Amino acid sequence: MDFSLTREQELLRRLAEEFAENELEPVAADMDRKHKFNMENFKKMAELGFTGLGIPREYGGSGGGAAEKVIVISEFAKKCLTSAATLSIHGITPGVLLKYGTKEQKQSYLPRLTQGSSLAAFALTEPGAGSDAAGVKTTARYDAGTDEYVLNGTKCFITGGALADVVIVFALTNPELGTKGLSAILVEKGTPGFAGGKVEEKMGLCGSETAELIFEDCRVPAANLVGKEGQGFKIAMEALDGARIGVGASAVGLSEGVIDLSVKYMHERVQFGKPIAELQGLRWYIAEMGTRTESAKWLVYYAAYLQDSGKPFTKEAAMCKLNASKAARFNANLALQIHGGYGYMKDYPLERIYRDAKITEIYEGTSEVHKVVISRAMLGR
Ligand code: COS
C-alpha cells in the first residue's frame, strides 16, 4: 500500500497548483460577479494538457487516468470551484467517446475536446428528470429516409450551457422501452433546431453558465449515435460514476482551500490581545476541518484507484462524493465562522466559496441519490 504520489503525479500537482494560483484565483471573484466563464482560461488549461487528462496521446490527450484528474481538479478547486467543475464536466464527454465512440467519432471529436478548441456539455437532466434520470422525455426519432435522428425536447441545468460546442444528449430512440430505449447522441452547436434557452441565476458557481437546451426537430446524422441504440442509460450512469469522483475531488480541494485561508487568518487576526489561533474554540474548528478533509480525500483517491484498476467503483464513487461534499459544506461554514464579519463580506473570497460549496451536495446526483446507490450496493438492491 502506497499513499504517495509518483514523481510525475507530483509534477502534475505542482503545475496545477501554480496554474490555479496564477490564472484561476485572480479571475474567480470576477467570474462570480459577472456570471461569466473566462474562456481564455479554458484555452490555457488545454495548452497545459489539463483537458486531455484520461485520454491517450494518440487522440491528442495527455494520458493519465482518474487519479491524475483528481489531483488537478482538487488543485483547481482550492482556488476556484467553477474552474474545477468546468474541467471536470467537460471531461465527461471525451471519456464516454473513448469507451463507446466509433473510430470516426474518436478521430473527429477527441482531438478537439482534448486540445481545447471545443467545450463539451453533458445533457441528461430535464424539468421532469432530475434525480429520477429514467424520466427523460426528449425523443430522437430515427428517419430512415435521411439516415438522421430528429431530436425534440428540452434539457435543463446544463453546465456549459449554450457555450458548449459539442453536447452529448440523452434522448429516447424507443420511448416504449423506458431506460432501455434511451440513447446517447452527439449534437454540435449551430445545428438547426438546437438552441440555448434560459440561462439560470444561481446561488453559487456563478462563473459557470447553467442553461436550458432546446431541441425542435433538430436533425443530426445517425453517425452521431454513441454506442448502440438503447445503451444511453448505462452510458449516462457509468459517466456519472466517474464524474462523481470529480465532484468529490473538487469538494476536497475546496475544503483544503478554506483551511489554508483559515489558518492564515487565525495567525494574523488579533483579538483579546493575541492571535485568534490561540483560542481553543477556533483550534477545535481547525482540527475538525482537517480531519474531515483528510478522510474525504483518501476515499476520493480510493475510488479513483478502483476506476483506474478497472474494478467496480459505483458504490465508492457515490460514497466519496457524499462524504466530500458534506465535508466541503461543513468546512466552508466553519471557515466563514472563523473569519467572522469579514468572511461575510464580498471583499473576501469566503462569501463566494460558501455559496459555491452547496452545489457539491446537489449536482452530479444529490446526497440522497448517493445514499440510494450505496444502500442498494450494500443490501443487494
Ligand atoms: N453503471 C452501469 N449501469 C448502471 C448503473 C451504473 N452505475 N446504474 C444503473 N445501471 C443500469 C442498471 O444495471 C439497470 O440495467 P438493467 O435494467 O439492464 O439491469 C439500469 O441501468 C437501470 O438501473 P436502475 O434500476 O438502478 O435505475 P433507477 O431508475 O432505479 O435509477 C438512480 C437509479 C436513482 C441511481 C439514477 O436514476 C441516478 O443516478 N439518478 C441521479 C441522476 C443524476 O445524478 N443526475 C445529475 C444530473 S446529470 S449531470
DSSP codes, 296-320:
HHHHHHHHHHHHHTT---HHHHHHH
Q: What is the mean pLDDT of residues 23-50?
A: 96
Q: Which of the following is catalytic: 278, 351, 364, 368?
A: 364
Q: What is the mean pLDDT of residues 172-196?
A: 97
State how far Cα 355 lies from the chain centre.
Answer: 16
- Domain boundaries of the chain, sorted by first residue: 7-114, 120-230, 233-379
Q: What is the mean pLDDT of residues 162-191?
A: 96
Q: Is 104 a catalytic residue?
A: no
**Ligand 1 pocket check: which of 126, 228, 234, 325 to mutate, most ligand atoms within 8 Å of Cβ?**
234
Nearest-angstrom CA–CA distance, 244 and 157: 17
Whose C-alpha lies nearest to ligand 1, atom 13? 234
Q: What is the mean pLDDT of residues 170-192?
A: 97
CA of 198 to the centre of ligand 1 (A): 27
* Residue 167, pLDDT score: 98
351-369 pLDDT, tens digit each: 999 999 999 999 999 999 9
Q: 381 pLDDT band (50/70/90 cuts)?
A: confident
314-357 pLDDT, tens digit each: 999 999 999 999 999 999 999 999 999 999 999 999 999 999 99
Q: What is the mean pLDDT of residues 287-306?
A: 98
Q: What is the mean pLDDT of residues 57-80?
A: 97
* Residue 1, pLDDT score: 87
Is the domain spanning 7-114 CATH 3.50.50.60? The answer is: no
Q: 308 pLDDT band (50/70/90 cuts)?
A: very high
225-237 pLDDT, tens digit each: 999 999 999 999 9
Whose C-alpha lies nearest to ligand 1, atom 29? 134
Q: Which atom of ligand 1 lies at the shortest distance from residue 234's CA?
A: 3
- Is residue 48 pLDDT above 90, yes or no? yes
CATH classification code of 233-379? 1.20.140.10
Nearest-angstrom CA–CA distance, 68 and 53: 7
Q: Which atom of ligand 1 lies at the shortest distance from residue 233's CA?
A: 21
**Which burial class, exposed, middle or buried, applies to 168 when counting CB atoms under 10 A from its CB (0-12, 13-18, 19+)?**
buried
* Residue 162, pLDDT score: 83
CA of 8 to the centre of ligand 1 (A): 35
CATH architecture of 120-230: Beta Barrel (2.40)
Closest among 77, 243, 264 to 159, alpha carbons compared: 243
Q: 301 pLDDT band (50/70/90 cuts)?
A: very high
Contact (Cβ atoms closer than 8 angstroms) between residue 69 and residue 77: no
Secondary-structure breakdown of the chain: helix, strand, coil percentages, each rounded to the nearest 5: 60, 15, 25
Q: Which atom of ligand 1 lies at the shortest distance from residue 159's CA?
A: 49
**Ligand 1 pocket check: which of 237, 366, 373 to mutate, most ligand atoms within 8 Å of Cβ?**
237
Nearest-angstrom CA–CA distance, 202 and 278: 38
CA of 243 to the centre of ligand 1 (A): 14
Q: Which residue has the higher pLDDT, 381 or 120?
A: 120
Whose C-alpha lies nearest to ligand 1, atom 21? 234
Closest among 223, 219, 152 to 192, alpha carbons compared: 219
CA of 238 to the centre of ligand 1 (A): 8
CA of 265 to the centre of ligand 1 (A): 44
Q: What is the mean pLDDT of residues 45-71?
A: 97
The stretches of 101-198 forming alpha helices (DSSP H) are: 103-114
Pocket, ligand 1, Cβ cutoff 6 A: 122, 124-125, 131-134, 179, 233-234, 237-238, 240-241, 314, 364-365, 369, 372-373
Q: 222 pLDDT band (50/70/90 cuts)?
A: very high
Q: The pTM is what? A: 0.97
Q: What is the mean pLDDT of residues 17-26?
A: 98
CA of 246 to the centre of ligand 1 (A): 18
* Residue 107, pLDDT score: 96
Q: Which atom of ligand 1 lies at the shortest distance from residue 363's CA?
A: 46
120-173 pLDDT, tens digit each: 999 999 999 999 999 999 999 999 999 999 999 999 999 998 899 999 999 999
Collapsing DSSP to helix, strand or coil, 227 comes out as: coil
User: What end-to-end distance do the CA atoms of the chain give, in Å?
Assistant: 31
Contacts of 310 (CB under 8 A, 6+ apart): none
